[in-house]
Amino acid sequence: MKYIQEYRKPEIQKKIIKEIHKYGSELRKRINIMEVCGTHTMAIGKYGIRKIMPESINLISGPGCPVCVTPLNYIDKAIELSKINDVIITTFGDMMKVPGSYSSLEKEKSNGSKIFVVYSPVDALEIAEKNNSKNVIFLSVGFETTTPSIAQTIKIAKDKKIKNFFILCGNKIIPPAMEFLLKEKDTEINGFLCPGHVSTIIGIEPYKKISEKYNIPCVISGFEPADILYSIYLILRCIIEGKAEVINEYKRTVREKGNLKAKKIINEVFEICDSEWRGIGKIENSGYKLKDELSQFDAEKKFKIDVKYPKEKTGCICGEILKGKKKPFECPLFEKICNPENPFGPCMVSSEGTCSAYYKYEKR
Amino acid sequence: MPIINMKKDKILISHGSGGKLMYSLIENIFLKKFKNEIIEKLTDSAVIEFDDFELCFTTDSYTVDPIFFNGGDIGKLSVCGTLNDLSVMGAIPLYLSSSFIIEEGFDIDLLEKITESMKRISDIAGVKIVTGDTKVVEKGKVDKIFINTSGIGIKDKNLKIGIENIKVGDVVIINGTIGEHGMAVLLSRNMFNIKSNIKSDCAPLNKLINEIIEIGGIKFMRDPTRGGVSATLNEIVRNQKFGILIYEDKIPVKEEVLSMCEILGFDPLNIANEGKVIIICDKKKSEEIIKRMRKNIYGKEARIIGEIVKNPEGKVIMETITGSIRIVDSPIGEQFPRIC
């Protein structure tokens, strides 16, 4: 089985699209299906899926881009930390360009701050081991997909007694954000396309609670075009049959209970806390912080930094976009003033941001 | 286009990426100062007109990291890159210069290997390296070795190759699979602990191009290096009264490259090539051109990947495998630095 080509055969896509149109015509009103995950947003843009949907199906993008929802205050803190002598900042590449209140990591790098892009937190730890006269801080952002590898890195650092490695913790949990959006006034979501990668870790249980409580179908989807189209079809079928089920379309990766080992490691290192989501606000129990007994790895405790009150740019509607209330085309800044080279808000910076996806694949 | 604030802004890695940010730097800094009737055309080589021929002149600096990678090295790259920039103008490359900036402490043995590779490729391509320069700088002032090559070639005055010749209905051809150079260099850095057989496609294309020029019908050519096929196609349509439509299922990508792109989150269309050429030609001549290309070692997988369309003007679009249409934009910022 070829896991890319098999899922990209044009004839398969066309067959599912035909079914979606058939079912779509049975709908009595226009429905909103939210793809929670940024990788889905990108795939939907890349394969032109939004454009081939029937009139009756509206695909809206959700808050599942980790860079987009990282609060401004976090970016400002990272920038301040990068200015400290002997500090090396290590980060996933997407964070480099995110505008803080007054600067960005990319600009600080050109000013001489030591900032390295890494592909894994383990690489950041290696940098710490090789530079023991420096303090290495890893910008720890991401959802359940990324959190286990960061937790594992902390465990390794503890075992090896590494004293110069820290994280600035901003990790987030997806299901509470989904629930938050369902409670929002004037957002109507009729079905969730649930994130495949996150589900690989958390399994299908967390969605069952949401699905039952709010009577909404949730389909866990893979990322190939055939996966996404088939998941949309499954949601559609649930809606028409009046069922609020959780269906796992991404069975080749996602197990019922998720990844038990990964969940265990997360619980050993982190504890759940309330968390601030950029553009959305504070969501209860939607974030992680280091457990007290591991606070020696907490960059905020180690370094005293003074961060000014965050200053969000005016006119940007990223918040409304992250909640699925508005689409990028409705933003007066989109394309004209805000574009990937000169991003105003986080949804345009991140390679998985909704505005970035629309700009890249759908701009007029 | 972002406006550069010269008093405040600093050069970012993205300014060298071959994308939109680099274009704005060229426009706002270099073109502003150097502007003349030759440079302002921003072609791959400058074209200087003489009474009975045209002289093409180009230059390029090579800073690839690592200097040896699967499928090539900085020396091979420095000859192929400059040769290809002359060839896509329709010129026959003749002479190259080579300048070396070398870090103190560099192994002479490696310098031998690099120059050997330059010699081998220039022999294959039939060009001579006729002048050069050497500078050595203190340790840490450059990373191992940087090479600059310039090249000249001559072009038939009657050969009309330029964007202005492109018409709606012309077709877009590529000579083979895409994304191999950028991916090979990236994987040679051992950043991901992934073993792979992906080899750079780095190759001299002058003979392949000379063979097809004879057939006629070629409107325009460009080598899709930094920024990949998407950057090159967008350069072609910029400010033009036509667009380009490509077909996703016709774009040749090796399975290994596709898999790596999926793992690392890249689009093969955005990844650099060093042995590929995009050809826009008259549809009527396309079959003959492809047939001839396939006889050459560097054109075995030549095929049509798209066509020139009336709408949308100035944009590149793609018919995706779902049968939908999406925009193909130039990559923005740096995908990964120092791949050439």
CATH code of the domain containing B293: 3.90.650.10
Are residues B117 and B55 both part of a single domain?
A: yes
Q: pLDDT band at B339, cuts 50/70/90?
A: confident
Are residues B169 and B147 both part of a single domain?
A: no
The answer to whether A110 contacts B11, with C-beta atoms less than 8 Å apart, is yes
Number of structural domains chain A divides into: 2
Are residues A142 and A266 both part of a single domain?
A: yes
Are residues B181 and B296 both part of a single domain?
A: yes
Q: Is residue A334 part of a domain?
A: no
Are residues B124 and B190 both part of a single domain?
A: no
Look up residue B113 and give its amino acid.
K
Q: Which of A20, A44, A46 to mutate to probe the B interface, most B CBs <10 Å?
A: A46
Q: What is the DSSP letter of A298?
A: B
Task: Check if A7 contacts B (Cβ < 8 Å).
Answer: no
Are residues A159 and A262 both part of a single domain?
A: yes
- Give the torsion sign (CA, B258, A97, A360, B224): negative
| Rounded distance between C-alpha atoms, residue B262 and residue A249, angstroms | 20
Are residues A155 and A272 both part of a single domain?
A: yes
Are residues A149 and A198 both part of a single domain?
A: no
Return the pLDDT at A145: 94
Residues 6+ apart with CB under 8 A from A31: A56, A57, A58, A190, A191, A236, A239
| Rounded distance between C-alpha atoms, residue B294 and residue B300, angstroms | 4
Q: Is residue B4 part of a domain?
A: no
Q: Which residues pair with A31 in a beta bridge?
A: A57
Please enumerate residues of B whose Cβ is less than 8 A from a Cβ of A: 2, 10-12, 14, 20-21, 24, 191-192, 249, 255, 258-259, 262, 265, 267, 320-327, 329, 332-333
CATH of the domain at A140: 3.40.50.11740
Return the pLDDT at B265: 83
The answer to whether A48 contacts B249, with C-beta atoms less than 8 Å apart, is no
Number of structural domains chain B divides into: 2
Q: What share of residues in chain A are helix, strand, coil (percent, to 5)?
A: 45, 20, 35
Residue B3 has pLDDT above 50, yes or no: no
Question: Phi/psi of residue A167, each to 5°?
Answer: -125, 150
Residue B6 has pLDDT above 70, yes or no: no
The answer to whether B191 contacts A225, with C-beta atoms less than 8 Å apart, is no
Give the domain-ending residue among B134, B155, B176. B155
Residue A360 has pLDDT above 70, yes or no: yes
Are residues A75 and A157 both part of a single domain?
A: yes
Average pLDDT in chain B: 93
Length of chain B, please?
Answer: 340
Peptide bond connecting B66 to the previous residue in cis, omega within 30 degrees of 0: yes
The answer to whether A119 contacts B192, with C-beta atoms less than 8 Å apart, is yes
Structural domain that includes position B198: 163-327
Residue of B324, B329, B333 lying closest to A360 (CB–CB): B329
Task: Check if A361 contacts B (Cβ < 8 Å).
Answer: yes
Are residues B310 and B172 both part of a single domain?
A: yes
Q: Is residue B191 part of a domain?
A: yes
The string of DSSP letters for A52-113 reads: GS-TTEEEEEEEE-HHHHS-HHHHHHHHHHHTSTTEEEEE-GGGTT---SS--HHHHHHTT-
Are residues B237 and B304 both part of a single domain?
A: yes
Residue A141 has pLDDT above 60, yes or no: yes
CB A232 within 8 A of CB A33: yes
Give the domain-ending residue among A248, A266, A284. A248
Residues of A in contact with B2 (CB under 8 A): 341-342
CB A301 within 8 A of CB A338: no
Look up residue B157 and give its amino acid.
K
A327, two tokens? 């689409």
Are residues A121 and A145 both part of a single domain?
A: yes
Residue B5 has pLDDT above 80, yes or no: no
Return the pLDDT at B192: 75
- pLDDT one-digit tens code per residue, B62-75: 999 999 999 999 99
| Rounded distance between C-alpha atoms, residue B222 and residue A341, angstroms | 25
Are residues A186 and A231 both part of a single domain?
A: yes
The answer to whether A17 contacts B322, with C-beta atoms less than 8 Å apart, is yes
Q: Is residue B15 part of a domain?
A: no
Q: pLDDT band at B1, cuts 50/70/90?
A: very low
Q: Is residue A311 part of a domain?
A: no
- Quickly count: other Cβ atoms within 10 Å of residue B169's Cβ: 13
Return the pLDDT at A352: 85
Task: Check if A359 contacts B (Cβ < 8 Å).
Answer: yes
Q: Which residues pair with B281 in a beta bridge?
A: B171, B218
Are residues B200 and B319 both part of a single domain?
A: yes
Are residues B231 and B123 both part of a single domain?
A: no
pTM of the model: 0.87
Task: Check if A341 contacts B (Cβ < 8 Å).
Answer: yes
Give the domain-ending residue among B95, B124, B155. B155
Proportion of chain A above pLDDT 90, given as a percent: 79
C-alpha angle A46/A52/A54, rounded to 5°? Answer: 145
Question: Phi/psi of residue B9, each to 5°?
Answer: -75, 155
Structural domain that includes position A116: 68-173+258-302
Give the domain-ending residue among A209, A227, A248. A248
Are residues B188 and B117 both part of a single domain?
A: no
Residues 6+ apart with CB under 8 A from A56: A24, A25, A27, A29, A30, A31
- Do the bridges between strand B316-319 and strand B243-247 make them parallel or antiparallel, or are there none, so unpaired? parallel
Helix extents (H) in chain A: 10-24, 38-46, 66-69, 72-82, 105-110, 121-130, 147-159, 174-183, 196-202, 205-214, 225-241, 260-269, 299-302, 318-322, 346-349, 354-361
Are residues B136 and B180 both part of a single domain?
A: no
Q: Which of A7, A51, A53, A362 to mutate to probe the B interface, most B CBs <10 Å?
A: A51
Residue of B11, B20, B322 lying closest to A49 (CB–CB): B322
Give the DSSP H/E element, type plus range, for residue A268: helix A260-269
- pLDDT one-digit tens code per residue, B244-266: 999 999 999 999 999 999 888 88
CA atoms within 13 A on the CB side of B227: 24
Return the pLDDT at B328: 96
Residue A309 has pLDDT above 90, yes or no: no
Are residues B149 and B241 both part of a single domain?
A: no
| Rounded distance between C-alpha atoms, residue B86 and residue B147, angstroms | 18
CATH of the domain at B101: 3.30.1330.10
Are residues A18 and A35 both part of a single domain?
A: yes
Q: Is residue A346 part of a domain?
A: no
Are residues A118 and A28 both part of a single domain?
A: no
CA dihedral A73→A79→A83→A86, nearest 10 degrees, is: 100
- pLDDT one-digit tens code per residue, B128-152: 999 999 999 999 999 999 999 999 9
| Rounded distance between C-alpha atoms, residue B219 and residue B190, angstroms | 41
- pLDDT one-digit tens code per residue, B272-291: 999 999 999 999 999 999 99
Question: Phi/psi of residue A51, each to 5°?
Answer: -70, -20
Q: pLDDT band at B9, cuts 50/70/90?
A: confident
B322 alpha carbon, distance to own chain's centre: 30
Lowest mean pLDDT among A50-54, B5-9, B121-125, B178-182: B5-9
The answer to whether B322 contacts A48, with C-beta atoms less than 8 Å apart, is yes
Are residues A105 and A240 both part of a single domain?
A: no
A218, two tokens? 């949730």
* A337-347 average pLDDT score: 85
| Rounded distance between C-alpha atoms, residue A222 and residue A250, angstroms | 5
A70, two tokens? 């990282």
Could you tell me how many CB contacts below 8 A there are between chain A and chain B?
77
Give the domain-ending residue among B155, B190, B215. B155
CB B182 within 8 A of CB B261: no
Residue A227 has pLDDT above 80, yes or no: yes
Q: Is residue B31 part of a domain?
A: no
Length of chain A, please?
Answer: 364
Q: What is the DSSP letter of B27?
A: I
Q: Is residue B35 part of a domain?
A: no
